[in-house]
Structure 1
Amino acid sequence: MPVAGARALRILGTGVALPEEVLTSVELDHRLGLVPGTVEARTGVRQRRVERGSAAALGARAARAALEAAGLDLDDVDLVIGASATPDQPLPCNAALVHEELAPSRPVPAWDVNASCLSFLVALDLAATLVEAGRHQRILIVSADIASVGLDFSDLGASGIFGDGGAAAVVGPAGDTGSAVLAADFATHSEGAHTCEIRGGGSRHAPDRVTGDYAEWARFRMQGGAVFRLAVKHVPAFTDKLLADAGVGMADLAAVVPHQASHHALSWVRQRLGAGDRMIDIYADVGNQVAASLPSALHAAITDGRLRRGDHALLLGTGAGLSIGGAVLCY
């Protein structure tokens, strides 16, 4: 029976790109003068990747992999959506820089969605609407984040969890396959707006409006405990409503694909939401890759065969704002 509000959409191909440089937690222990095993014990991350180039180039690598998986060329795409939290620069949008890296033969439109760690989910929701409306046929969504440049490792709880990475997906019409975004929803609880932020880089704290070393204003800061408490307060009811809107229950899901926020968050999703062994967990080997985190986990679910055509999946995450987002897919 059709679900009210469902939008036909098919994920045609996914791809990821990981930087070559690996930073293990043992190496980070040594760098910080800590007892070996300290960073992994506190963060749950064994290793993370570090990118020395640009987010646009990293995203373009993921995009090419997604196009190859879809059996398509860049000229088959009629929109590029950049869905990242850490762009290379405030202007132009990172989608334009990815566009430059990919060098399409025609002026395909490119624009950004920035909802921090939820950027890919928001872009997927928008893409479903655009394809359903006939506005676009095939859309390339690219998420690439380089968190490593703005971290303060004196605060392991906020910095030791992150890694760099890129992920992309090509989506398009579902035809008669049954693939769809069955439901999607987002909610922002702005009492947590300043629990996770980079204050510099915009007009509020522009270089001529602040004193001191501007590098400090460009550092990422997070109140991890406050973020976690606010998330667990609201996520259960949010998830229940989302599943009800999609017409499915947890037992109907083949995979639960969460944003890889932290080892504590993943453990909570596994136990409190009942995801169990259906939860896709890549966190220990890549860390929290910000907006690239969730599509990287989605790619892993697909390539590992844990999410097959016709299966239902829950995509779920939180991001700065503090915002919660989710989507239920028939893959």
Structure 2
Amino acid sequence: MKHTGENIRIRNAAYYHPQHIVGNDYYLDHFAQMGKDIKRFLEVMGRKNRYIIKDENENSLTMGLKAAQKVLEDAGLQSEDLDMIVFASQTPEYTYPTNALLLHNKLQCKHRTITLDSNANCAGMVAAVEQASRYMQSNPSIRYALITGSDYSSVNCNTDDEITYPNFGDAAAAVILERSSEAGGFTDSLYYTDSEGCENIMFPACGLSNIYREDITAEQIRIRWTPFDGTVCVDAAIADIKELLSRNGLTTDDISAFCLSQFSLKNIELIQEGLGLSEEKFIYVGDEFGYTATSSPFIAFQRGVEDGRIKRGDYVFFWSVGAGWQIPTMLFQY
């Protein structure tokens, strides 16, 4: 589904992570004391280290701000250049005002800047970039848009839960979208939604309206994660990637990189096998960052740019999964 005229391109991307690193040994020892062996789980998820917030002054908003400042600097732009700011998070520091508005204030942007928050859980930043690209195609007054994705997940994990506590890391990513007459940019996208398991992952577990009840404990507020088959999204991913390739006249040979959710190394390997491709095209950073949720595909993307695996003109797939399930797949020509 090609578009003519001006294109919506990724000008720059950047990421930020806290400095504190926690390795697998801490979590192996932590759960061993409960009689739980999580070594195999960490291998399947592909975990080694993760960056965890320890500074009480850091949160999803401050991380998002630092990623935004970095991407503006790298793009050679000023905050006054921004026509739109979207802040994607499933762990926003505030529900009002919007985190995008707070970012606008801290960056000192102009009055004509559109600001909004979005939340599609772990699929949030892929969805936000896709929807901002679509919006920019229909609104010619938007030249530059800042999309920031940031999650501070570690603080919301139940320390007795072997699925969430050792899995998440904290980080943010930021992308500058620009309107350009140059070739490339946003190409096409698909969404797949299956709400059958919509209650498998819930936060706050007790529901927001119940957090002030005297009988509610801190653990009842934190993430509730009901175990499920994490490979359930793989077939949909393979099918949607193939459909986007077909309707845009491309093959897997035309794709330089796949920047997928970093939730599970096993899922990435299954998608790779299902497409019949080598692992070189699949960028994995979950062993260093842990699972950073909404930002993870774009941290992988920027790492690919930094190490030369992704170059200007390359076709790149972005894909992620939000709880429940909501699955966006997006094709970009960088």
Provide, for residues 262-315 of structure 1, a one-character-per-residue CA deviation record: whole Å limited to 9, x for no partner.
Answer: 122122222223342100110101111010111111111111111111111111
Q: Residues 1-331 of structure 1: matches in 2 within 5 Å?
A: 3=2, 8-33=7-32, 38=39, 40-41=42-43, 43-51=45-53, 52=55, 53-104=58-109, 106=111, 108-133=113-138, 134-175=140-181, 177-200=182-205, 203=208, 205-207=209-211, 212-226=215-229, 228-276=230-278, 277-331=280-334
Query: What SS class does the counterpart of residue 136 from structure 1 fall into?
Result: coil
SS of residue in 1 equivalent to 2:233: helix
The range that moved more, 8-17 or 92-101, is 92-101
In 2, Cα distance between the equivalents of 1:158 and 1:213?
Answer: 21
Mapped partners of 1:296, 1:106: distance in 2: 30
| Contact 1:16/1:168, CA 8 A, preserved across alignment | yes
Structure 1 pair 64/275, CA: closer, same or farther in 2 (3 Å)? farther
Q: In 1, Cα distance between the equivalents of 2:74 and 2:227? A: 36
- Partner SS, residue 172 of structure 1: strand
Contact 1:5 1:183 in 2 (8 A): no
Q: Which shows bigger deviation, 99-108 or 50-59?
A: 99-108
What secondary structure is seen at the aligned counterpart in 1 of 2:263? coil
Contact 2:258 2:282 in 1 (8 A): yes
Residues of 1 paired with 2:239 and 2:137: CA distance? 28
Q: How far apart in 2 are the matches of 1:124 and 1:296?
A: 14
The sequence identity of aligned pairs, in percent, is 24
TM-score by length of structure 2 reads 0.89
* Whole-angstrom CA distance in 1 between matches of 2:225 and 2:166: 12
Q: Distance in 2 between matches of 1:250 and 1:297?
A: 19
How far apart in 1 are the matches of 2:109 and 2:195?
Answer: 39
Distance 1:329 1:7 in 2: 14
**Aligned-residue CA RMSD (Å):** 2.4
TM-score normalised by L of structure 1: 0.90
User: Within 2, Cα distance between the matches of 1:230 and 1:29?
Assistant: 27
Q: What count of residue pairs does the alignment treat as equivalent?
A: 326
Distance 1:224 1:96, change over 3 A: farther
Contact 1:55 1:146 in 2 (8 A): yes
Opposite residue 15 of structure 1, the aligned amino acid is: A
After alignment, is 56-65 or 28-37 more displaced?
28-37
> How far apart are the structure 1 equivalents of 2:72 and 2:277?
30
Stretches of structure 2 lacking an aligned partner (at least 5 in a row): none
- For 1:195, the aligned partner's letter is N
